[in-house]
Amino acid sequence: MLKRPTIVYRHKERLDLGWALDQLCAYRLKSRRKALQMARGCPLAIFANDNIGIAINSFGVFEKNELNLLFAFLRTELTSFSNAVALDVGAHIGNHSIYFSKFFAEVIAFEPNPKTYSLLKLNASYFKNIRTHNFGLGECGGNYQVVFNPINSGGSSLIPPSEKLDHTTSNARLEALDQVLQVEQKIKLIKLDTEGFEYQALSGARQTLKIHQPIVVLEQHLNDFTEGDTKASKLLRDLGYKICWIERRFSPKIPLLRLLNALWGLLFGRNVVVYCGLPLPKRGHRMLIAIPVHLQDRLLNTKIKATE
User: What is the structure's pLDDT at 225?
Assistant: 94
What global pTM score does this model have? Answer: 0.87
| Residue at 212: amino acid letter | H
Phi, psi of 300 (to 5 degrees): -115, 10
Stretch 274-293: mean pLDDT: 93
Go through the domains of the chain in sequence order and give each one's CATH number: 17-307 (3.40.50.150)
Tell me: the pLDDT tens digits for 92-139?
999 999 999 999 999 999 999 998 999 999 999 999 999 999 999 999
Length of the chain: 308
Q: What is the pLDDT of residue 172?
A: 86
DSSP assignment string, 5-49: PPP----PPP--HHHHHHHHHHHHHHHHHHHHHHHHTS-----TT
CB-neighbour burial class of residue 192 (10 A; exposed 0-12, middle 13-18, buried 19+): buried
240 sits in the region (left: phi over 0; alpha: psi -120 to 50; else beta) called left
Among the residue ranges 1-5, 22-26, 48-52, the one predicted with the least confidence is 1-5
User: Which residue, among 153, 231, 161, has the nearest Cα to 197 in the 3D structure?
Assistant: 231
Cα 307 to its chain centre, rounded Å, is 21
Q: What residues contact residue 98 under an 8 Å CB cut-off, 6+ apart?
A: 40, 41, 42, 44, 123, 124, 126, 127, 130
**Of 284, 231, 270, 298, the residue nearest 68 (C-alpha):** 270
pLDDT attached to residue 297: 93
Q: What is the pLDDT of residue 296?
A: 95
- Give the Cα separation of 215 and 86 in Å (integer): 9
- Nearest CA to 96 among 120, 78, 72, 118? 120
